[in-house]
Amino acid sequence: MKRLIVVLAAGVWGAEPLTIEELLASVDRAFPLIEAVVAERRLAEGAAMSARGEFDLKLKAEAGSQQLGFYRNEALEGFLEQNTTLWGTTVYGGYRVGRGTFGPYDEKALTLSGGEWSGGFRMPLLKDRAVDRRRTDLQTTELEVRGAEFTISKERLKIYKEALKQYWEWVAAGRQISVAKGLLDLAEQRNRQLEDSVKLGQLAPVEVTDNVRAILQRRSALVNAERYLQGAGIGLSLFFRDAAGDPLQPGADRMLDSFPEPAALAPEQETLDLAAAMTARPEIQSLLIKRRQQDAEARLAKNQMQPQLDVYFNYSRDAGVGRLSRKGNEIEGGLSFELPAQRRKAMGKQTQAEAKLTMIDAELRFARDQVLLGVQDAASAVRAAYQVVGVVREELKASRVLEEAERVRFELGDSTQFFVNQRELATADAAFREIRSLADYHKARAEYAAATARLLDRRGP
């Protein structure tokens, strides 16, 4: 049965901390939704190959025999035909042989004994000269392959962001374990001191009872913190996977020792990132590709309004012996013309193409507005989170001073263990909120990196 969660034992993978680059490399390598969207690229590549097939060299052949009736004959014909991208020209060449007796209506099929070699071309002069259906399909499908890359980047950007948010949640859970353990250690160490003081008659037994209550409360908090870490690790294993692609829960030995130090977001950096986002965001690039595809369709629709005027040329020569009229070179050329009287089909196609271009332009404007506002909002969130970290750290510093002062008062007999416990809890609460503020800051940074598409540059190998 397929494993759902694999717990990484300490020392198996190594004791190096789990880095962002390693996590994102794991996402690239084995995340199922990335694999699914990569299949879209293969679909686009298949469509492009199919469009190129319209320019494959074609071999055509036909053989026939008539042995009943007044006229008896055999005919064999084979030729090669090549569509080209040069002005929509088609070139061809072939060989045919016809023997026996043919009716006057079919004498063209008769050749000399060695058969007839021929070749020529057909080239449009108006309709289908600048663009045609084959060349348009070739262009749009090749653009579709490029567009698939941006579809992959869009999905990757979304998944990267979610992976980083879960990563920082996991780091926060690990840091909270440290705070909870430290808080419990304080109460357990103090309990031994209180028991000694009660034995010496310096304190009432109720002080020990109250401290035992605090120990039990802090053990409960530690259990909750450990469960929080387990849940965060399980959530992270959705993105962090082993070589087989199975979810891998990172061990405690891979936890960061501390959060990276926050840094302020400079206004000039935001300006640079916004300019980069306008060209790098996959949504915008996908729409630009879509517009180029539709522009090609619009050019084709406009071209189809023109009349069909083609020039053609054919050269042939028979070899061998036979009827005198079949000997020598034959050169044939001319023009063919066609124009529908109303051209409603072409006019309708042109109207549709122009309307679709208008729609894409509107979508593109809206997408750029979304990117602009998204970057601004993400930058605002980073700055707010950075300020919160500073405020909480000041609060934590003050809480530690008050905690130490209360502990000194208790040692001098001017306070009780209850008040010391409250001060310790206040300090721990501030420490927890510092951890939460740091996690929120780094999550905001992940949002900002996604909004600016800078996150795509953080990929591992």
Residue-wise pLDDT tens digits, 31-88: 877 777 788 888 888 888 888 888 888 999 888 888 887 888 888 899 899 998 899 8
Are residues 171 and 292 both part of a single domain?
A: yes
| DSSP one-letter string for 205-228 | HHHHHHHHHHHHHHHHHHHHHHHH
Are residues 90 and 143 both part of a single domain?
A: no
CATH number of the domain to which 180 belongs: 1.20.1600.10
Are residues 317 and 209 both part of a single domain?
A: no
Are residues 249 and 180 both part of a single domain?
A: yes
DSSP state of 258: S
Terminal Cα distance for the chain, rounded: 31
The answer to whether position 304 is within a domain reads: no
Which pLDDT score is estimated for 122? 93
- 17 to each of 23, 49, 250, how far by Cα in Å? 11, 45, 10
Q: Residue 420 is part of which domain span? A: 6-51+134-297+350-458
Are residues 160 and 196 both part of a single domain?
A: yes
The answer to whether position 65 is within a domain reads: yes
Count of structural domains, the chain: 2
The model's pTM is: 0.79
Backbone angles phi, psi at 75, to 5 degrees: -140, 140
For 171-198, write each residue's pLDDT tens digit: 999 999 999 999 999 888 888 887 877 7
Q: Which of 344, 371, 406 is the last residue of a domain?
A: 344
For 28-37, write each residue's pLDDT tens digit: 887 877 777 7
Are residues 382 and 279 both part of a single domain?
A: yes
CB atoms within 10 A of CB 346: 17
Are residues 278 and 407 both part of a single domain?
A: yes
Are residues 369 and 387 both part of a single domain?
A: yes
Are residues 82 and 143 both part of a single domain?
A: no
